[in-house]
Chain A
Amino acid sequence: EPEVTQTPSHQVTQMGQEVILRCVPISNHLYFYWYRQILGQKVEFLVSFYNNEISEKSEIFDDQFSVERPDGSNFTLKIRSTKLEDSAMYFCASSESQGGSGELFFGEGSRLTVL
């Protein structure tokens, strides 16, 4: 069964360092998303991406965050200068094109720990 895969599963970094989280969405999906879940809190929307550009973003997705699809298969989230409060589980998701019911398919997440 097709699935969304994410790497790394866990990354530990020092405050101020750059981090790149990688995702391989389901191959025929055209919409891509990043969500984060701070420990004990709800799953929060960060950004959605379609046709090589951001289609929607939340207030959380500020200038320290960026996304790109560098090679047609990977979808990356970059955090330029990590802060302690960026420690969270980051989930990538993808969904079908027009005609889909809106279901998002999620990866297993990348846990980011900022020290």
Chain B
Amino acid sequence: AQSVTQLGSHVSVSEGALVLLRCNYSSSVPPYLFWYVQYPNQGLQLLLKYTTGATLVKGINGFEAEFKKSETSFHLTKPSAHMSDAAEYFCAVSRPNQAGTALIFGKGTTLS
């Protein structure tokens, strides 16, 4: 079974500071990994994803994440936070090469 753990339900940073949101996964096979963002009263929007290839992936709004198999982690970072980054962030995992497979989400981290 797959699962996702997001460390820290709330993260607070100053504008201009580094953003680090932590995500660890559990999967019996190398997974596909995703970060989604949810702004107030909106749906979930994809920030970035890792499927195969380069382990450092870049997403929208200056975010990036690195897949570290040895640490089973997929932490989300942004060098300089902006007020508009305040939102709920969800890490998710899915089984690879299976179209239509469900995403399993972590509990989310609120960034303020």
Contacts and interface: CB of A to CB of B under 8 A. Distances in A.
B is bound to A: yes
B105 interface: yes
B34 A95 contact: no
Contacts of A100: 99
B46 A103 contact: yes
Contact of A104 (B96, B103, B107): B103
A29 B36 CA distance: 19
Interface in A84-115: 91, 93, 95-109
Contacts of B34: 102-103
Interface string B71-99: 00000000000000000001000101011
A102 B105 contact: no
A63 to B, nearest CB: 20
Contacts of A45: 102-105
Interface residues of A, number: 32
A90 B46 CA distance: 18
A42 B43 contact: no
B43 A108 contact: yes
A4 interface: yes
Given A33-B102, A99-B99, A42 B46 contact: no
A102 B32 contact: yes
Contacts of A108: 41-43
A103 B43 CA distance: 14
A106 B36 CA distance: 10
Contact of A42 (B99, B100, B101, B106): B106
Contacts of B98: 102
Given A42-B106, A99-B99, A106 B45 contact: yes
Of residues B34, B96, B101, which shows the largest number of chain A Cβ atoms within 10 Å of its Cβ?
A: B101
Given A55-B100, A96-B99, A107 B108 contact: no
21 contacts: A4-B43, A33-B102, A42-B107, A43-B44, A45-B102, A45-B105, A48-B100, A56-B101, A91-B44, A95-B100, A97-B99, A99-B99, A101-B51, A102-B32, A102-B49, A102-B94, A102-B98, A103-B46, A103-B49, A104-B103, A106-B43
